[in-house]
Structures are given as C-alpha cells and as structure tokens.
Structure 1
Amino acid sequence: MLDTLIKNGKIYNGLGGKPYKKNIGIKGDRIETITSDEPPASKLIDAIDLAISPGFIDMHSHTDFSIKDNPKAESKVMQGITTEVVGMCGFSPAPVNENYFADLMYYFTNTIILSKEEKLQWRWKNLYEFYEEIEKKGTSVNLAPLLGYGTLRVAYSGFSNTPNTLLPEEQKKILYQIEKEMEAGIWGISTALEYPPCSYCNVEEIAKACKIVKRFNGIYSTHMRSEHGKKIFTSLEEAIKVAQISGVNLEIAHLKVAFKEGWGKSSEILNRIHQERKRGIEINADQYPYTAWGSSILDFLPKNIVYKGINYWRNYLLKKENRKEIVRFIKNNLEGPEKDMGWEGVVIANTKTKSNEVIIGKNMHELSMIRKIEPEELIIDLLIEKEGYVKLIVFCMEEEDIKTILKDSLVIIGSDGRAVSPYGKFSKIHYHPRYYGTFPRILGKYVREEKVISLPEAIRKMTFMPASKIGLKDRGQITEGAFADIVIFNPHSIIDNATFVHPRRFPSGIREVLVNGKIVVEKGELTSSLPGKFLRRK
C-alpha cells in the first residue's frame, strides 16, 4: 500500500512542458508511481483544480544562519520551498578556527547577532559537523550547502585591517580545507567580492580555489564586486575570467542592475552571459523579484576604516574632527538611492534595539526628522549606538530590468533570504519581504497577473534548473523514483502578501507541501514534521 496518493491535480513536472493530469503515489520518501489509476493509500490528497509541482528549490539562501533557531523554516516552506542552497555570499557557519575566533565573530556581525552563549557554542571545525547536527535535530527543509570563502579566509588568515594577499602557508591550508569539504559532500564555494575579506581576493586566488571545486563538479556562486551602474560590467568580466581559468560551473548571485546610471542595461549583461555560455562556460544567474536589496550601514563608511575593525572605527567616530570628515565623505560619495530617490529609499530592517525604542521599519528621512539631525549625522550615531549592526533595505532597482532578467532562459529563482517566522526570535525584525514572498510573487504577479513568463517556465526556473545547476539527483522534477518533494498550489490565487511595510506575512495559494514524502504544510497550515535532510554531493 502507498503512503500517500495525490489525485486529480494538474502535474507540472518541472521540465517546462505542458501540464498533464495523473495521480501521484508516494511510498516512503520517493514517488513510487505516476498513474491514471487510484491505488490504495494510507493518505489521500485531492488536488482537483490545483497545480502539482516539484518542491521549489531556493538557489540562493542564507537559512544556514537561522536554521538552528528556526528548524521549521516557516517562511520558506509556506512558499513551497523544499530545498535550499545555502552558504552564499562568502558566508557559511564553518570552519571555525580558535586562533581567529574573534575575527570570525566580527565578520559575522554583518549577517547575524549571536549571544555570548551562542558564541561559546559556535565551534564547528567543518561544514559536515554543522549540518550533521542540524539533520539530527530535525528541519523541515533540505539543505544543500556551499562553503563560504569569506568564512574560510577568516579561519586561516583572520579579518585583516587592510587588504592582504594570502601567505603561501595560509593559501595551502585554505585549498586543503576546500578539498576536504568537497570530499565530504559540500556542493561548492561562494564569495562576496563587494565585502571584506573576499574583496581582498584577486582572480588568481579565486581561480585556484575554483580549480579544486571543478575537480569535484561543484559550483562557484559569486556576489560580484559591484552591482552598481556601469561597474557591473567589469565585475561580470572578473567572474567570467575565474570561470575561464578554472573551468568551474559559475553562478552569478542575485543578478541586478542597481542605481539609475545602470538602469536599462540588463539586456547587455544577459547578452554577455549568453556569449560565454555559447563558448562553453557553464554560467547562470539567479534573481529575486524586488526593486530593493538588503545592505548594511557599514557600507557608508570608507572601506579602509571598516577594515580596521569595530574598536578602531568606533573610537575614530567619537572624535569631532573625524566625525565631520565622515559626514563630508558620505555627502560627497552618495550614489544609488540616497542620490536617486532620497533617504526615504533607505529603510532600517534590523538592529540592536532597546525595548522602548521604535526604529525598525523607519526610513532614514523619517528617523532623521524624529531625531532632528541630518541623515549623514544619523548614520554616524547609529554606527556607534548599534556597534555597526544595522541592516538596511535599499530601493535601487528598476521594474523593467527585473522583468528582463526574469524572462531570460539562464536565470534561476533565489530568495537571498533566510528561513524566519512571524513569532519567536525573528518576530520583531523588519526583514525584506523576499524572505516570505519570493516564489509566490513570481507565480502570482509575474506569471498570472503580468504574464511576463509562462507557468511551466516559472516552475522550471524554481525546480529542474536549480537541481541541474548544482547536480542534485532525483530532485527538481516529478518522475517515478524521484524524491517526493512536492508543492500543491492554486495557480488562480497564489500571491505574496509580504510587503516592505508589512514583511512578516505568509503568502496565499499554497495548500500542501511535502518534503521527502512527509507533509510539512497541510491545507495551508504548518505541521510539526521535520523530514528535511542534509544533502551531500555524490
């Protein structure tokens, strides 16, 4: 007898073709049969008038920094996401080297707040240890991790005060760690060349690392050195050069064209990607469908000051003459939303707050009016008060570029978000709405309402494409023998409900979500099931 039978639905198999009507029989964690019959099953799911799709695969996720506190992964599974590719933008939870532990904690300041107790427990020497622990405790989603090159560089070279070239011994240790992680089943590496310490890397250093990744058929995901205006073209060439030298499978992270000087140039960027594809480079990009990104208040400081660490720049900013200098620097170096759209386009998403302080969700213009100071002065005050931990939402993209990128055949969907929930530890944080709404937004706004792409093509970008990109076997399509990662949704009502004003809202239209044959969302409600796995490359 089958464990579950899904009947009467319209199956989109993930390959981009037309849907068809059949019944899906599940036994254990696999799809046992796809049939016109109705074999007996312990559980029956009637999907009449609904779409049945492979579970969505989030190609660009940061859930590795929330899954310990949020194993149910509510904001992801409620979107229909069943697998997340994590370890992005140079960040991963491991390896941890005791010699540079303080440096690592400073590096993590840009992505996570850890309590003293959590810091004491943060001691994983490799990614395998971390994900084995997560799998044993249980999670609702599958996790396919990359190794963050930023974390790796800090582990063996520290967080340098100034841009540095690796010493031969440091590079040897880094390359050895990559090899061991790949042997253990990790899927590749990632960088964020816009931020230190990855910003210290040149093409040669990254290519050496990627040659090892290539040997194991892994991938290299890069947050490019710049996504701003015309700078994106030189940044793209740098990423392509790494792939040309190493032969690595290249993924351009969260492809976008930021700031007005670059708006309308998305077609040129995509054409360049297609040129390299035709020349034999395995290159793709991923995208989230919003006109704002996430950033840090530290980005307003000169990089040479940020590199020297929190103790240095905090003391530096406390001196009046230095404060005036930084105010001038911010005013003279404004680009993007502050210049194009005003300070209303920069919103505080998360920070260290006092219990009586209302700051999260306010934009810089509002807050500067409340405090009766200039926005540039406000930035310095917040840097000192919050010890550099102020996460921002920055409006800087143009809608037509979003659509152009989405339509491209080489672009995959990724949220660039972590799994959170509207209650508990994450309930007060004003996250980017992509954390809750990326995949339903594509299917509701861009498929049904605006008809930018077809439903089969959107599903392909969310399922088969990411599975093929990283080499996931038996996932990303509905076929006999595949793992039973399945989402059942209403194509006529699916939509994101999270907004920039109210970001902690689940989407509408997702009815059932199954991970490895177990139901994690039933009739639109979360279950307590934790069937997710640590996926290892084989």
Structure 2
Amino acid sequence: MKSNKLTRREFTKIGSLATLGILSGCSLHNPFQLIIKNGALIDGTGSPAIRLDIGIKNGKIKAIGNLQEMVADRVIDASNLVVAPGFIDIHTHTDIELLVDPRAESKIRQGVTTEIGGNCGGSPFPIAEAERNEYNQRLRERYGIEATWNDLAGFFDALEARKIGINFATFVGHGDLRAVAVGRNDVAATAEQMEKMKWLLTEAIQQGSFGMSTGLEYAPSSYASTEELIELCKVVSKLNGVYATHIRNEDDFVEQAIEEAMQICREAEVSTQISHLKACNQNNWHKVDNILENLEKAVSAGMNILADRYPYIAYGTGLSVFFPLWSRQGSTDDFLARLNDRSLFAELKNHAENRAKRIGGWDRVVIGYCATDENKKWEGKSILEAAEVDGKKPFEFARKLLIQERNRVNIVGFAMDENNLKKVLTSPSVMVGSDGSAVSPTGKLGEGKPHPRFYGTFPRVLGKYCREDKIFDLETAIKKMTSMPAQKLGLNNRGIIREGFFADIVVLNPKTVIDKATFVDPHQFPEGIEYVIVNGKLAVEKGEHTGELTGKILRSA
C-alpha cells in the first residue's frame, strides 16, 4: 500500500500557502475546508486500518497524514470512529425517487454516497411512445410527477435541474430497450428490431449509461433468447460497459441460469455482474456450494464476472411473478384480461399454487405495497392471512388483488437460508448491493412497507455480519462496499480514500453501527452512521441530514 503521509516539504508548503491565504475556496489561513482527524482510516482496498487524518478541499481529498497542527473551516473529531470511503450501492432501483425527494434519505443515512440504478432490466428510459400515457398516469398517481424526457440525456437533465443529495449512475434496462423496439410480447426480435435495440443501447451508453441490465424473470426481458443477449452484450463490451443480470431463474434452474450468464460473458467478452446471487426455496439450498465453487473457478480462469448480494433471507418483487410469463405478455390491460379469463383460471392457479408450494406456502409471501387506499389494509400481511380475513382462497385473493391494483402490488418472499447467505457474502467475488430504492419515512416515499434492505443493507452487513457474526473483518466488509464496485464500474476516482479522489466519505461507529429497519416496521434509519460527506460537503451530521444536495450525475467515460 502506497504511503499517503505528508512529507515535511508538503506539510511546509501547505502551511505557507495557508499563511498567505491564497488557497482558493478556503477561509484566510485555512488550507482545508474540512479536516477529519483522529479516526481509524479504512481506505477501501482491504488494507488494515491506520490512524490518519484527512484534509478536504474543493470536493476532493487534498491530504492524508498527520494534520493535527493544521486548521480548517470545519474539523470533525473522529476519535473512536472509523473513516471509510462512501459506500457504492452497485444494485439499486433508485431513479424516479430522486425527483420526488432528492435527499435519498434511506440510502445516505446508511453511508451510501453513490447509487447505481437501472437494474433488473428496468430503467425510466427509453420510453416507448405507445406507453407514455400509462407511464405518466402511474407517476402522477403515485408521485405527483410526469416524465418530461425520452432518453437518458433527458432524464439526467431532469435530475440535474432538481439537484440531488447523492451521486447517481445507471444502467439502461434491456426490458425498456425491448419494449421500444419489439414490444412486450413473447416474440423473437427481427433483424431490424435487433438493430434498433443496438442503436438505442449505443445511444444510452454514449449518453452516460454504464452498460445494460436484464431482468430475465420479468416480462419483456424474459422473452429474449441467449443469442439476442449475446449480440447486445457485444455492443456493451465494445463500449466498455458492464452487463448486470437478474438471471433467468433463481430457484429450480438457478445453476443453468448462471451458466447462461457465464456463456454471455464468454461469448460477448463482456464484464458481467450477477445480481443478488441466491438459491431460492429449500429444495435448492444445497446448490449454493456448487454455485460459489463454479463462480470462483470462472474468476480464477480469467472470466470478468462478479456478483452482489443483500444481507437478508427474503427477496422483494411484484406479486405478478407468481403468475406464468406467458400471462404477463403485453400491456397491463392484457395481463388483467388474462387474470379475468375464466378459461385460463385452472392453468393460472396451478402455476401460482405450485410456486407458493415451492417457497413453503402463501404464509411466506408478505404484501409490502398496494397502490390504492382501499387495499392499504393488506400491507404487512401475508397472502394467507389476508385471504383468510377476506374470506377467499389465497390464489383467488392474489388474483383479485392484482386486478384491483392494476398489477401494482409488491411483496416480500421468505425463500432463502441464513447459512447460505453467509457463504455468499463471504465469497471474494461477491460485493454488497441493496436491491432497494432511496425512500424516506415521510411523504410519498414513506408509503407501504418496503423491504428493510431499503434502509438497512450496509449497516446490517457491518453490524450483524461483521461485528456480531464475524464472518469477515471490517476492512473486507468495507472493500465489498467501496473499491470493488468502483473498480467493476470503472469509477477511477471514487471508492478509495486517496489523495486526489472525490471526498465521498462515511464516518461510522464500529461498536454501534446496526440496522433498525424490520419487515414489520421498515421505515427506520440505522444507528452508528455519524457523518456522511458527499463531494466534500457534509450531508449527514451526527445521524441527521443537513439538507446539502451535492450529489453528481456520474456518466460512463
């Protein structure tokens, strides 16, 4: 590890400049705008903690070393605290939320300073013109806003005009590329449609997207063949992007789905990220050891593939996943028409009941969000419990609820094993990603009962799995949250505490940091995140948001 201590000559030079008062952006005599002193610095590379001070100026780390005699506009005493790079959440669904509340409170109060959106095949761009009215209607009903953009450039313009409190980068969703070029039905893309998708993908990356994501368990991304994905990923690779994939199956055929991801990685020669790596349902839990072994073999053989995972044994998604892919083709109205078609009831019921049986029963599927006030009463209840209260069988309750809510029902499914979770988290090829969005306990973003990962992912890894369960040391945990995602995405000036890098920094208490959000009461901020600095400005001070909105849009190089 390169030493970051100030030399005597550098120290003297800074002191002299301060005396002359010629350092721009600082008060007279103050060479730094902010000094963090007396903390245990964990730089994000996995290197051991070392007691060093940090001097910040004009949004960047100006000096690292012994700054005890130096002065600044503001000094933070980090005695008994850890100073680390701001966390980079490589797998999120944050996008529109930043237009609703730019503070990104549920994330920044975890120590997250950079969000990577556009995952699982979905992004708020490009927008299919045929779907614009329905899309805007949903935005108006839920958030009171409308989409004024068509592409990524327009969406970035909207965010920059709003000003945001966290750094934001994004993938483009394959599902949206396909919706624009092919539609939402289960059909193969024609040669002309493939060219249109390639053009849209190229445009998005040139406008700043870091690559493409797929959600291969969701329509319409699921209707793509492996060959279609390889051809699109060749475009991603040529433009030095990343392919992030919610694989085609995460339970009975999870091993085959991972092999498909590896095939795409090999044949397209594309940097690949497997999203929320897991094996769902008890009959598949035994597969995790083999999955991790194969992942490590692939990495050791030189394959450019990694994965991410959140620290919970329940997933979060839409209730519609309990219904077959063929039924989810087309528009929302098309899906609801099939749910209302009595001739399809037997087939729909067989599929849904079989999926519920595999997870362990409808009592393991908990409703997190309903759009209408009428059905808010079901939030926090399992499908089984709600069905019993409503006097219906679980399948019939689920079917009716989706119709009433126009497919706007989110659920949490308890499908994973705790021991497997620990194995996945400790893999050297797995980093931490929340699979959540930036929300808030108040306002429009405080509705429903979201998965607690929205509020607790990073403090939970640090508190429960690092401090309490000791599955890895603090340096390793922080590396999985900082330099690993930064290097995967090519964020060359973030993710490590180093001179000249952007000053995205978290100061935390290693003895108290812990998540507080639960499945019953998820809208709770964590404890132990004392300070968060975004581009040199204090965004969180002693656990409270300061109101600073100094986040930047991060565009791919």
TM-score bin, normalised by smaller chain: over 0.9
Distance 2:511 2:246 in 1: 35
- The equivalent position to 1:158 in structure 2, one of 176, 183, 194, is 183
1:10 aligns to what? 40
Deviation digits for residues 286-311 of structure 1 (CA, Å, limit 9, x no counterpart): 00010000122212223222214433
Q: Secondary structure at the match of 1:265?
A: helix
Give the conservation status (yes or no) of the 8 Å contact 2:140–2:146. Answer: no
1:212 aligns to what? 235
Give the conservation status (yes or no) of the 8 Å contact 1:294–1:393. Answer: yes
Residues 372-387 of structure 1 aligned to structure 2 (within 5 Å): 372-387=391-406
Quick check: 1:59 aligned with 2:90? yes
Higher relative contact order (CA 8 A, sep 6+): 1
Distance 2:494 2:153 in 1: 21
Quick check: 1:234 aligned with 2:234? no
> What is the count of residue pairs matched by the alignment?
526
- CA shift for structure 1 position 196: 1.3
- CA shift for structure 1 position 277: 1.5
Larger mean CA deviation between 191-200 and 70-79 belongs to 191-200
Give the conservation status (yes or no) of the 8 Å contact 2:181–2:196. Answer: yes
Write the letter of the residue equivalent to 1:268.
N
1:477 aligns to what? 496
Quick check: 1:28 aligned with 2:67? no
- CA shift for structure 1 position 22: 1.1
Write the letter of the residue equivalent to 1:378.
F
- CA shift for structure 1 position 322: 4.2
- The equivalent position to 1:448 in structure 2, one of 453, 463, 467, is 467
Distance 1:51 1:120 in 2: 40
Give the conservation status (yes or no) of the 8 Å contact 1:264–1:400. Answer: no
- CA shift for structure 1 position 96: 1.8
- CA shift for structure 1 position 15: 0.6
Distance 1:25 1:152 in 2: 44
- The equivalent position to 2:165 in structure 1, one of 140, 148, 152, is 140
Quick check: 1:336 aligned with 2:366? no
- CA shift for structure 1 position 315: 3.6
Give the conservation status (yes or no) of the 8 Å contact 2:120–2:173. Answer: yes
Write the letter of the residue equivalent to 1:187.
F
2:301 aligns to what? 279
Q: Structure 1 residues 531, 119: closer, same or farther in 2, change over 3 A?
A: closer
- CA shift for structure 1 position 500: 0.6
How well do the aligned residues superpose, as a CA RMSD in angstroms?
Answer: 1.9
Q: Secondary structure at the match of 1:271?
A: helix
Give the conservation status (yes or no) of the 8 Å contact 1:259–1:335. Answer: no
2:319 aligns to what? 297
Deviation digits for residues 72-106 of structure 1 (CA, Å, limit 9, x no counterpart): 0000000000001111011111112324536x83x
1:221 aligns to what? 244
- CA shift for structure 1 position 172: 1.0
- CA shift for structure 1 position 9: 0.5
Give the conservation status (yes or no) of the 8 Å contact 1:100–1:156. Answer: no
Normalization by structure 2: what TM-score? 0.91
Report % sequence identity. Answer: 39
Identify unmatched segments of 5+ residues in structure 1: none
Quick check: 1:185 aligned with 2:185? no
Deviation digits for residues 461-480 of structure 1 (CA, Å, limit 9, x no counterpart): 00000000010011001111
- CA shift for structure 1 position 325: 5.1
Normalization by structure 1: what TM-score? 0.94
Give the conservation status (yes or no) of the 8 Å contact 1:100–1:158. Answer: no
Quick check: 1:351 aligned with 2:370? yes
Write the letter of the residue equivalent to 2:35.
L
Q: Secondary structure at the match of 1:133?
A: helix
> Larger radius of gyration, structure 1 or 2?
2
Distance 2:284 2:90 in 1: 25
Deviation digits for residues 38-79 of structure 1 (CA, Å, limit 9, x no counterpart): 311001101000000000000101111311112100000000
Distance 2:209 2:353 in 1: 44
- CA shift for structure 1 position 321: 5.2
Distance 1:192 1:418 in 2: 16
Q: Structure 1 residues 357, 253: closer, same or farther in 2, change over 3 A?
A: closer
